[in-house]
Structure 1
Amino acid sequence: MPGAKGFVIAGFVGRMPMSMLGIGIVLLISALTGSYATAGAISATVSVAYAIAAPLSGRLVDRFGQARVLIPFVLTHGAALASMMLFAEYDAPQWTLFASGVVVGGTATSLGSMVRARWSHLLGRSAMLHTAFSFESVADEMIFVAGPALVTGLATMVNPYAGLILTLVCTVAGTVAFSLQRGTEPPVRPVTEHGGSPIMIPGVALLSCVFLAMGAVFGSIDLITVAFAEEHGAKAASGLLLASFAGGSMISGLWFGSRAWKISLGRRFTRGLIIFAVGMAPILLVSGLWSMALVAFVSGFAISPIIITGYALVERLVPGHLLTEGMSWISTAVGLGVAIGAWAGGRMTDAFGPSNAYVFSYGCALLALAVGVGGGTLLRTPETGPSEAPSTC
């Protein structure tokens, strides 16, 4: 589509930090304090602030447009992240790290939602929208393959601050470049079109609860895996282990997105949750780095289909004039879940060791399954349009 290449590339760079910020903070703070609980608490503070602010920034975008909101937000975000690193460098009181973390998270934006909103504006509900959303999910997984390994390598082999410095540069440069591409920006809707929040829609509320539990899986896995690799004398390998999760998800996203599906979105979503829970089970029995990498790769297969169908369900359930905010609720649920997971994962790791702490991650995967399957009737949508054309799949 005309103009798509520009916002896709800029959006990719701008959201690279979504896989780098949390683990970069954990690596820096744990190196300075020796405590994964403290590192997890600060990372959780960032995630909670983001979770609270993301729907608000999404509503501002729907009302005023992407560029007018994203640029001041990202500049403030960059300044706050730089301040956090300076506070850490000069051994400032610990409360300053938490305070700067609140600003870092509060001014972070869901750039993935903004990209998907542009695709929805360009493509409507044509068959290509399924492909576009699938492509963006694969791009997300590419980010989660490269990001953790990159930030871990920089933090452990160059300097504890190097990973967060790269995170800052990618965030600011990518978001500003994305915002300046006004030709593909969704139009601003009149204020009178705004009604209640999308979270009041039962299906969106259910999806948010599922992604809250999924976020707890992601947040705890990030922190526990760093400790697991360190326990085995290879802390630098933690990024590669996390990349294995994303690698499996990336491959499944390519396969899933290339097909037109006969079964409904809701059934695709619940089946993905079942596969995810089953695939996560072996993580409780793993004791070595290589076996962990294999289990992580296999358990990642269900992640992309869940994310792809989750965003597609929001696009069907939410009125067009609230689309950005609706998608931001998915991001805010994941962000809040990541915060809970990082905090709980840190506490569990310090108390019981990393291998036993994975029990929490698996419990959250089972919770996501229970909520998604139990409330599956709320995810029924009109299955119309070429994207739902029958196939042999």
Structure 2
Amino acid sequence: MTPRCRRLPRRPNTMGYLALLRAPHVTRLLLGTLLGRLPAGMTALVIALALREAGAPYSRIGLATAAYAIAAAVGGPVLGRIVDRTGQPRVLIVSAVVAGLGYALLALTPGSPSAALTGAALAGLAMPPLEPCLRSLWPAVVEEEQLDTAYAFDSASQQVLYVAGPLAVAGLAAAFGPSTALWTAAALGLLGALVVATTAPARAWQAPPREASAGLLGPLRSPGLVLLLVGLAGAGWTVGSQNVLFIAYAESHPGRLPGGAGSLLALAALGGLVGALVYGALPWRISTATRTWTIALGMAVSYLPLLLLPGPLAMAGLALLSGISLAPLLAAAFVLVAELAPTGTVTEAFAWLVTLFATGNAAGYAVSGLLATDSLPGVALCAVGGIALGGLLLFGCRRRLRPTAPTAPAATSPDGMPERMSERMPERTPEHAPVA
């Protein structure tokens, strides 16, 4: 293997977000991924509303939403591996069409138990891998000093999605019915996939040949990457537990919290948006690995005051505080995933990040839901515990988080010129170098 070159110190970020948005292809890629990822923030709620309107019992609604979540967790890494082997456009478009068929099945036959389960599973299994595809493209689209800004902007957009998605469902369902919201989710997924798949970077991107040692496990052959993903599952657990905590807290303070749990969740999302924007604007001098475990531990500290379960006004402030570190943690993790993934597996690695975070989130929801009836402090402790354990794991195994892959080979960009990464001294892996 070629020895890895040391990364040059990152220059201060004088470009900013406006310059990022002016870079070629960036606005279109962001718009396409935002549109195509909106269904991810809509689906769980819209499935519940559509099936409930059709008279389905809550048990069937639970099965359908679980089928969607499990299928998405399985399908993400599979689609990511196919992208690494065949490129992005075909996978994005075909998966969007298949997912659209799942939404159509739900919209047309919500009263059929088998059709509802099949439709939900199809929608999850074939959810277009827009998140991992975008994160694979960033290093080919922006300059190296803008990478942290790009990943931070990407992370910030997630905060918007998970607020905008449920709001869109609520508005569409109230005005036109849940079936319209299902058709809208299908259309948004296909539109977003088409917008991204037809960009020059997506059409030109091609992962280098997979390392022979990757084998069946692919990116999971990297011990550092596995540790990172487990740590991030702890963050997902915390977010799921926090959602239950806010719902239970609002119910225990009736009339004293305007907007109820929705206000607390919105404040946490606002905190994440602010945190991501600040993170992306700072000139970082420490390594990505150090940044990641430091932010994870900082997130754990920011959750500790939730154990006090103070009055509504103070709780609103703590909700804002607790959200600040999540988006920066994910932004740093995006860079670290790309650094740790074996050659030829970067899209699948990003898909595993989505899967592990979502799995942790679902587990945190489930366990906290069992605790919420009898012990609100127990739910708060559950929320703190996930990220605390995840952060301690990342800190304890910090030496494993150091990249060891070889320097990326030269590659070409979509315009046929030498690709940017080949002109630098990167620390990242060859997946960042698309071949035209």
- Check whether TM > 0.5: yes
Map of 1:368 onto structure 2: 390
Residue 203 and residue 283 in structure 1: after superposition, are their counterparts in 2 closer, same or farther (change >3 A)?
A: same
Partners of 2:210 and 2:342 within 8 A in 1 = no
TM-score (norm 1): 0.83
Map of 1:391 onto structure 2: none
State the Cα deviation string for residues 329-374 of structure 1 (Å, max 9, x = none).
111111222332343344444x437775444333322232232222
Which letter maps to 1:139? S
Matched, 1:204 2:222: no
Matched, 1:179 2:202: no
Bigger share in helix = 1
Q: 1:4 aligns with which of 20, 23, 26?
A: 26
Q: CA deviation at 1:214?
A: 1.9
Q: 1:118 aligns with which of 137, 155, 163?
A: 137
Greater C-alpha radius of gyration: 2
Residue 49 and residue 87 in structure 1: after superposition, are their counterparts in 2 closer, same or farther (change >3 A)?
A: same
C-alpha RMSD of the superposition = 3.4
Partners of 1:41 and 1:343 within 8 A in 2 = no
Residue 86 and residue 290 in structure 1: after superposition, are their counterparts in 2 closer, same or farther (change >3 A)?
A: farther
Which letter maps to 2:366? W
Q: After the TM superposition, which residues 22-37 of structure 1 pair with which residues of structure 2 at under 5 Å, given as runs?
A: 22-25=44-47
Matched, 1:53 2:75: yes
Q: CA deviation at 1:143?
A: 2.2
User: Hey, what's the Cα distance between the residues in 2 that align with 1:24 and 1:327?
Assistant: 26
SS at structure 2 position matched to 1:261: coil
Q: CA deviation at 1:45?
A: 3.1
Structure 2 unaligned runs (5+)?
1-22, 408-423, 428-436
SS at structure 1 position matched to 2:345: helix
Partners of 1:45 and 1:101 within 8 A in 2 = yes
Q: 1:251 aligns with which of 274, 290, 302?
A: 274
Matched, 1:105 2:150: no
Partners of 1:81 and 1:168 within 8 A in 2 = yes
Which letter maps to 1:219? G
User: Hey, what's the Cα distance between the residues in 1 that align with 2:52 and 2:313?
Assistant: 24
Q: 1:144 aligns with which of 144, 162, 181?
A: 162
Structure 1 unaligned runs (5+)?
389-393
User: Hey, what's the Cα distance between the residues in 2 that align with 1:44 and 1:221?
Assistant: 20
Residue 262 and residue 304 in structure 1: after superposition, are their counterparts in 2 closer, same or farther (change >3 A)?
A: same
Partners of 2:236 and 2:359 within 8 A in 1 = yes
Residue 252 and residue 72 in structure 1: after superposition, are their counterparts in 2 closer, same or farther (change >3 A)?
A: same
Which letter maps to 2:322? S
Identical positions, percent: 28
Which letter maps to 1:111? L
Q: After the TM superposition, which residues 283-322 of structure 1 pair with which residues of structure 2 at under 5 Å, given as runs?
A: 283-286=306-309, 290-322=313-345
Residue 387 and residue 304 in structure 1: after superposition, are their counterparts in 2 closer, same or farther (change >3 A)?
A: farther
Q: How many residues align?
A: 382
Map of 1:71 onto structure 2: 93
User: Hey, what's the Cα distance between the residues in 1 that align with 2:223 and 2:93?
Assistant: 33
Q: CA deviation at 1:308?
A: 0.9
Map of 2:7 onto structure 1: none
State the Cα deviation string for residues 265-318 of structure 1 (Å, max 9, x = none).
122111111121122223344366554433221101111121011011112122
SS at structure 2 position matched to 1:352: coil
Residue 235 and residue 208 in structure 1: after superposition, are their counterparts in 2 closer, same or farther (change >3 A)?
A: farther
Matched, 1:327 2:345: no
Partners of 1:50 and 1:107 within 8 A in 2 = yes
Q: 2:151 aligns with which of 133, 146, 152?
A: 133
State the Cα deviation string for residues 198-250 of structure 1 (Å, max 9, x = none).
11101110111012222223334445645655664789754443222121011
Q: CA deviation at 1:27?
A: 5.9
Residue 262 and residue 192 in structure 1: after superposition, are their counterparts in 2 closer, same or farther (change >3 A)?
A: closer
State the Cα deviation string for residues 34-56 of structure 1 (Å, max 9, x = none).
85x87555434322221222111
Partners of 1:40 and 1:346 within 8 A in 2 = no
Map of 1:169 onto structure 2: 187
